[in-house]
């Protein structure tokens, strides 16, 4: 158990809908990262937050947004969903902004039908 | 930021053999990390090597770093079927990007 909790574990929704994925980082970790992994693909970095502030942005679509709350949990919002958004979405946390080990959650499997 | 690129893309070996996979990167780094991912699961941190280190060991894992060649290698000795997974490297960065990974299959 990494200490990072992602909910829900599975999500099935229709095209055009909006969903929210939630991540609770390890206790004390200030950094949260979000990744998307399509079938048999590598991890695409989406966005990073550190202590509530956006720190780095990757290949995140405009239809996607995220935030980190004062209690350090984070949410990834995906809207106007398309079939191609079906993927595993991972959250990771680390104590600092960089140069430290990251701990990954077990992911949310999103299926868009 | 930059990401590491793993090589080979896939590797298949027999149990008991050694497995070597490589990571290349393009700019200077402070550290490099290796992670393992079992199918459909979250990544698990294996080892972090700093730029002033040339080699690091952890159990059956040996990581080397050659900053002059901007490359790192991960050696798994005496492989087991349970080592079957994808392996990723990540260079230090605010955004910790990963390459496509090396898919290792260890046959019993």
Q: How buried is B82 (Cβ within 10 angstroms: 0-12 exposed, 13-18 middle, 19+ buried)?
A: exposed
**Between the CA of residue A74 and those of A12, A50, A100, what are the distances in Å?**
21, 10, 19
Whether B31 and A99 lie within 8 Å, measured CB to CB: yes
Tokens of B87: 């392996």
- B51: nearest Cα among B37, B60, B36, B63: B63
For residue A83, pLDDT beyond 60: yes
Distance CA B94, CA A48 (A): 8
pLDDT tens track, chain B, 108 positions:
557 788 999 999 999 999 999 999 888 888 899 999 998 889 999 999 999 999 999 999 999 999 999 999 999 999 999 999 999 998 875 567 788 899 999 999
User: Counting one residue from A and one from B, how many pairs have CB atoms under 8 Å apart?
Assistant: 67
Residue B57's pLDDT is 96
**Residue of B55, B69, B63, B64 lying closest to B26 (CA atoms):** B69
- Candidates B33, B94, B29; CA nearest to A47 is B94
Q: Return the pLDDT at A85.
A: 96
Contact between A98 and A33 under an 8 Å Cβ cutoff? The reply is: no
Of all residues in chain B, the one with the smallest CA distance to A2 is B44
- Could you say which of B44, B88, B94 has the minimum Cβ distance to residue A55? B94
Lowest mean pLDDT among A7-11, A108-112, B99-103: B99-103
Any CB–CB contact under 8 A between A101 and chain B? yes
**pLDDT tens by residue, A29-52:** 999 999 999 876 778 999 999 999
């Amino acid at each position: 158990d990494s200490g990072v909790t992602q909910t829900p574990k599975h999500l099935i929704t229709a095209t055009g809908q909006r969903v929210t994925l939630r991540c609770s980082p390890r206790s004390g970790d200030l950094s949260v990262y979000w990744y998307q992994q399509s079938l048999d693909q590598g991890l695409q970095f989406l966005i990073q937050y550190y202590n509530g502030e956006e720190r780095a942005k990757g290949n995140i679509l405009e239809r996607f947004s995220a935030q980190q709350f004062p209690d350090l949990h984070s949410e990834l919002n995906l809207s106007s969903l398309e079939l191609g958004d079906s993927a595993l979405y991972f959250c990771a946390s680390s104590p600092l902004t960089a140069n430290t080990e990251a701990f990954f959650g077990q992911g949310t499997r999103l299926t868009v039908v | 930021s930059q990401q590491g690129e793993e090589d080979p893309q896939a590797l298949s070996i027999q149990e008991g053999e050694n497995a070597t996979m490589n990571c290349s990167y393009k700019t200077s780094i402070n550290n490099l990390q290796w992670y393992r991912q079992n199918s459909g699961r979250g990544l698990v941190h294996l080892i972090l090597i700093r730029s002033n280190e040339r080699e690091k060991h952890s159990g059956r894992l040996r990581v080397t770093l050659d900053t002059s060649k901007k490359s790192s290698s991960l050696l798994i000795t005496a492989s087991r079927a349970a080592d079957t997974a994808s392996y990723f490297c990540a260079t230090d960065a605010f955004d910790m990007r990963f390459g496509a990974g090396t898919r290792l299959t260890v046959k019993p």
